[in-house]
Amino acid sequence: MPEYLRPYLPIFVFFLLVFGFGAVNLLLSWMLGPKKPNPKKLSPYECGITPIGDARHRYPIRFYIIAMLFILFDIEAIFLYPWAVYYKQLGLYGLVEMLIFLGILLLGYVYLWKRGAFEWE
């Protein structure tokens, strides 16, 4: 195994365990579990509110706004990560450039706040 892949070996083992655990459990319950289906058991929520209509409903556009803003600020946070790792070597220069970056995004944040993008109404 090449040296640069060695640190990922534990992650690989972890994935194998996770998928193995899931697969073995599904397989065992499929093999061992008795199957006596009736309409009540096969309904999506056996003990709950009776479903109204279809799950394939048109969702409000508000979810789109939230998802889009999540991406934008997610990318902002992604940029902070390498910056924080390399901050000591960058010094004041790094601080100023990140402040400009965050300042521009803060403008957008203030705009979003003023327009009520964070309100669920």
Partner 1 sequence: MTYFSSVEGSLFLITALVAVVSAVMVITQRNPVYSALFLVLTFCALAVLYLLLGAQFIAMVQVIVYAGAIMVLFLFVIMLLNLDRPLETQSKLKHQRLVAGVLAAVLLVEMIYLLHRGLPTTGTQPSPPRNFGTVEEVARVLFRDFVLAFEVTSIVLLIGMIGVIVLAKRHLDEKKAAAPERILSPLRKE
Residues forming the site for partner 1 (CB under 8 A): 1-2, 4-5, 8, 52-54, 56-72, 74-76, 78-79, 81-83, 85-86, 89-90, 94, 97, 100-102, 104-105, 107-109, 111-112, 115-117, 121
H or E element: which one contains 103? helix 87-114
Distance CA 104, CA 116 (A): 19
Minimum distance from residue 22 beta carbon to partner 1 (Å): 15
Q: 46 vs 74, which CB is nearer to partner 1? A: 74
Q: 29 vs 89, which CB is nearer to partner 1? A: 89
Q: 28 vs 95, which CB is nearer to partner 1? A: 95
Q: 39 vs 116, which CB is nearer to partner 1? A: 116
What sign does the dihedral 59-62-66-69 (CA atoms) show?
positive
Length, in residues, of the chain = 121
Distance CA 11, CA 17 (A): 10
Minimum distance from residue 38 beta carbon to partner 1 (Å): 27
Are 62 and 120 a contacting pair, CB within 8 Å? Answer: yes
